[in-house]
Amino acid sequence: MSNTNILDKFDQYLVLEGPAALVIREHLSPAEGSDAVFFPATYAPQKKGDNAGYNIDGPNRTENPSAQNIVLVDSVGSQANRIEPIFAEVDYAELVPQIIITAGEYKSVNLLDVGHRAGDAIARCTELKNVLQDAFRSVLKGNATPLAKIAPTSLVFGVWDSRDTQAKLPRLLASTIRAYNVRRLTRSAQYTPATDYAALEIFSAEEKQKAEGDSANPLAARGFVHVPSTGSHGGVIADGGIRRDATLALSALKLLKADTPEATLKLRRYILGLALVAFTRLPLGYYRQGTILVGATDDHGEPLLRRFDEVAIDGRRTDASTKFTAQDVLEYAKAAARAFGVGESKTVKFDKEKAVSDVKGDDKKKSAKASKGKNTDATPETAAS
């Protein structure tokens, strides 16, 4: 197949009357079995002093077996952070610029691993600061090409330059894992020190008695006394199953623009290629300690149906599972990347002085001062121009 034909392959997803979205819905199960305990993500407590816990909407089925509830197993942001680093792997690395940021003598991080992507503090505090700032300003003016040249996955997984220009791009790819009708469990543990340190006269018996059971006590915190832990979160059992829902928002992709119609088509094809690669690549089964999720099977051990649909604007759904193979998508992504022109890979250093200045807000102060000066000296007409 010629390069031109490859580039045309998915153009139906870029026209206004084309599908609004691609949707994947798949059923998952703990590796140990559908009735096994697994551990959803835990979140910080809303109130100081409360324990971290699961994000469960609805009552606990342990207390009310007929209750309906949903627990968040892996959030949109967490799924994005698991998928995005594939673009540093050998088969996909040529699709995007590899921006490596070194921080200190031993630490280096790929921009693909950074939580806030092109809007992250670590990227802002390098020599790329002005380049990124100009790219975000270009987004505000309706041209996403400069940002795609340096951080194209920010256009796929979403980015918000919340600390600077306020430019914001929505996620094209959103994936979430939830479990249904879960029974929440608890667990307990007991730490036992290797010896009786009070008997060795490291501290007194009274100090030992006072410290045991108080995890905040320095003796307990450093492991010198018995420390019990009771009633902590012990995972869940999902009576209603586990499901991953993923959406590739083609409608949002069609809003991306460059400075010319030709450049816009190249940009959209490039970002579509990256998005399709990420969308069709299944996340790894390991999520966290105690949670390995695999495809669910029926009572006969056969895999449950994994739905992959095109969704039209009028709501009609068409099976898209036979339209894609991993190889087709990768070939398309590579062709689109060549046509667009992948940005330059580079290694940059984290700049401590830029970080200090950023914390102090020096740039915003300078910008405000400059704006104030211009407004003082100019007429309304010249200031607006």
DSSP code per residue over 231-288? EEEEEEEETT-EEEEEEEEHHHHTT---SSHHHHHHHHHHHHHHHHHHHHSPPPSEEE
pLDDT band at 49, cuts 50/70/90? low
**Residues linked to residue 126 through DSSP beta bridges, in sequence order:** none
CB atoms within 10 A of CB 151: 28
3-class SS of residue 169: strand
pTM for the predicted model, two decimal places: 0.85
For residues 191 and 266, membership in a common domain is answered with no
pLDDT over threshold 80, residue 87: yes
For residues 218 and 364, membership in a common domain is answered with no
For residues 138 and 286, membership in a common domain is answered with yes
Question: What's the rounded mean pLDDT across residues 50-61?
Answer: 80
- 109 phi, psi to nearest 5 deg: -140, 140
DSSP 133: H
For residues 344 and 366, membership in a common domain is answered with no
The residue count of the chain comes to 385
For residues 326 and 370, membership in a common domain is answered with no
Question: What's the rounded mean pLDDT across residues 216-236?
Answer: 86
State the total domains in the chain.
Answer: 3
For residues 90 and 135, membership in a common domain is answered with yes
For residues 93 and 176, membership in a common domain is answered with yes
pLDDT of residue 102: 94
For residues 230 and 147, membership in a common domain is answered with no
For residues 265 and 314, membership in a common domain is answered with yes
pLDDT over threshold 90, residue 239: yes
Q: What is the largest CA-CA distance in the chain?
A: 84
- Rounded distance between C-alpha atoms, residue 334 and residue 115, angstroms: 25
Boundaries of domain holding 375 = 352-384
In the chain, % of residues over pLDDT 70: 91
Question: What's the rounded mean pLDDT across residues 367-371?
Answer: 51
For residues 216 and 280, membership in a common domain is answered with no
Residue listed under structure tokens 């059923």: 27
For residues 188 and 292, membership in a common domain is answered with no
**Higher-pLDDT residue of 272, 380:** 272
For residues 96 and 55, membership in a common domain is answered with yes
